[in-house]
Structure 1
Amino acid sequence: MKKWFAVIGDPIAHSKSPQMHNTWFAELNINATYIPIHVQAQDLSRAVESLRLLGASGFNVTIPHKEAILPLLDELDPMAQRMGAVNTVVRLADGRFKGYNTDGVGFVRSLEAQIGTTHRKDAVLLIGAGGAARGIAFAMQQAGYDHITICNRTVARAEALVQELNMGTAISLQQAELDLANYNIVIQVTSAGLNQNFALPFALTHLQRGTVVADIVYNPLITPFLAEAKHKEATIVTGVGMFVHQGAIAFEHWLQQQPDTNLMIATISGN
């Protein structure tokens, strides 16, 4: 029987997940398909039950549902539970839905594929404190990054994440702007770059040349944040690598096969 998978979110039209997974299905000769489903917040519970009823083999979860979906699942991977966010759901043999978080590990794989593993003791600034930030913060901590500062529009939310990590510092966006020269790695960890009217979280006046600047948004490839960082001669890391690596980890959870990530990154980047 043909398997089918999906990605749910709001918005969803921008997602390249169907293109990526359907390409991998074809490359590995897997009889499956993958579709995007637009799900608004008020419809999330019904959407999950519909996916269960209609026999989805698994699905991805994107903004704004990564945290809200937790109580709707039957089981959580321990790391997803600790992160408080899910982006991948697997249908188990008994029909139950189990949630995983592949975002954080996907980001770390992407970052280190570009800059190597020698920066783990560098000072890191995460901009944002939502579900994606939590996943990335925990994964970076697990990989050995132990100098992490989190800034957020609502400082209390950054403070809460620092407490969960039991590591790091929480500061305001204004303080981050003033202290920007102190950080070797700066990561834009919000979905704001999806908005065409996106305003930078703060001015990059003090950004130092050669600083590693990453954005988790992959469409557009060069977000306004990365464009400004590039203008300041930073080393930029687009969101494509994270997107592909997190998708590959989800693919492995679903089908126990490893897809070709390098070719997919080149394809989506237009190289």
Structure 2
Amino acid sequence: MIPYAEVIGDPIAQSKSPAIHGFWIDKLGIEAEYRARHVIPAELESYLAERRGDTDWRGCNATMPHKQAIIPFLDRMEPLAKRVGAVNTVVRARDGALVGRNTDVAGFLEPLRGELSGTHYFRMARILGTGGAARAIVTGLSKEGFTVVLAGRDTDKARALLDELAEGDHHVAPLSHFAAATDFDFDDREGCCDLVINASPLGMRGQPPLPFDWSHAPPGSIAYDIVTDPAETDFLNAARDAGLKTIDGLSMLIGQAAVAFEYFFGIEAPREFDSELRERLMT
């Protein structure tokens, strides 16, 4: 039999994970498979119970709406996943236990590593959205010394998320605050690191647009959109028009998948083919 891993979600047809993992499996020439499985919330417990008895199953990635709902059905969680409060990767341990992990934090930070390796006088991130992805992003950036401004429709939810996950002095704002232009005069940002991050599904194909006016972004900011469909979002296009550097959602998606791939199959993903992989994912 062939070892395999899966991605589960509801819906699941839009997932790019099978294309990513399948690409790496082909490049490495290993005996393995990666599948997509549609699992509705009511089937989540039975799905994991069934997979426990399948010795060829190496684990799964969990996408919406399972990243928090899956936790009660696991045997244990790694410290980072426990801190984030969300699991996007389940791995079968050698003792047969199902272990919850979070690779979203590593995936999100990966394209920022060059920037974060430097020294800054001040680091600030404006994060738009308060869902599961925002939990991983807040956790990762707070550990990297960022002051966070978390914007959402529900500011009480944003404050509770910050109080739970981030240490230090952070701020909340209604999402609508960033929709209209501002004439705020930013101070000197030389030597600072500013991020503007769409951590929401707004701007995704089939979703409403994200209302953000780029006058709210300090000069020299980096715009980061975690949306992957389309990869070229209106949010990123407007940021480029404002003269800002951008990072698209495929960067995070590929980064987190590479960590999960090694967990599942015990071999590093062949990242030297990233350019070819991105071209495939964009078509």
Contact kept in structure 2, 1:105 and 1:136, CA below 8 Å: no
Unaligned runs of 5+ in 2: 187-192
Shift of 1:214: 0.5
Residue identity opposite 2:172 in structure 1 = A
Amino acid across the alignment from 2:16: K
- For 2:269, what is the secondary structure of its paired residue? coil
Query: TM-score, with normalisation over the residues of structure 2?
Result: 0.85
- What letter corresponds to residue 95 of structure 1 in structure 2? G
How big is the shift at 1:42?
2.9
Question: Residue 123 of structure 1 corresponds to which residue in structure 2?
Answer: 124
Paired residues, what number? 269
What is the match of residue 137 of structure 1?
138
In 2, Cα distance between equivalents of 1:133 and 1:28: 33
Q: Distance in 1 between the 2:225 and 2:53 partners?
A: 36
Percent identity for Structure 1 against Structure 2: 33
- SS of match in other structure, 2:33: strand
Identify the residue that residue 95 of structure 1 maps to in structure 2. 96
- Give the superposition deviation at 1:61: 0.6
1:15 and 2:1 matched: no
The 10-residue stretch of structure 1 (89-98 or 19-28) with the greater mean CA deviation from structure 2: 19-28
**Structure 1 length normalisation: TM-score?**
0.89
Cα distance in 2 between the residues matched to 1:235 and 1:224: 14
TM-superposed CA distance for 1:52, in Å, is 2.5
Give the aligned residue type for 1:42. A
SS in 1 for 2:145: coil
Matches within 5 A, 1:95-244: 95-113=96-114, 115=115, 117-118=117-118, 121-142=122-143, 144-164=144-164, 165-167=166-168, 168-177=170-179, 184-208=194-218, 210-244=220-254
Q: Distance in 2 between matches of 1:234 and 1:35?
A: 37
**CA offsets per residue over residues 56-107 of structure 1, 9 Å max, x none?**
2111011121111111111100110110000011011232210100001111
**In structure 2, how many angstroms separate the alpha carbons of the residues matched to 1:145 and 1:9?**
33
| 206-215 or 81-90, which deviates more | 206-215
Q: How does 1:44-83 map to 2 (within 5 A)?
A: 44-55=44-55, 56-83=57-84
Residues 188-228 of structure 1: CA deviation (Å, up to 9, x unaligned): 11233333242214443444554211011222111232222
Indicate if the aligned counterparts of 2:196 and 2:217 stay in contact, CA closer than 8 A.
no
Gapped regions of structure 1 (runs ≥ 5)? none
User: Aligned partners of 1:181 and 1:229: how far apart in 2?
Assistant: 18
Instruction: Calculate the aligned-residue CA RMSD, in Å.
Output: 2.4
* Equivalent residue, structure 1, for 2:190: none
| Paired residue type of 2:80 | M
Q: 1:6–1:184: structure 2 CA closer, same or farther, 3 Å change rule? A: same
Deviations 1:107-147 (A, max 9, x none): 1012235x4533763211111122111112112222x2321
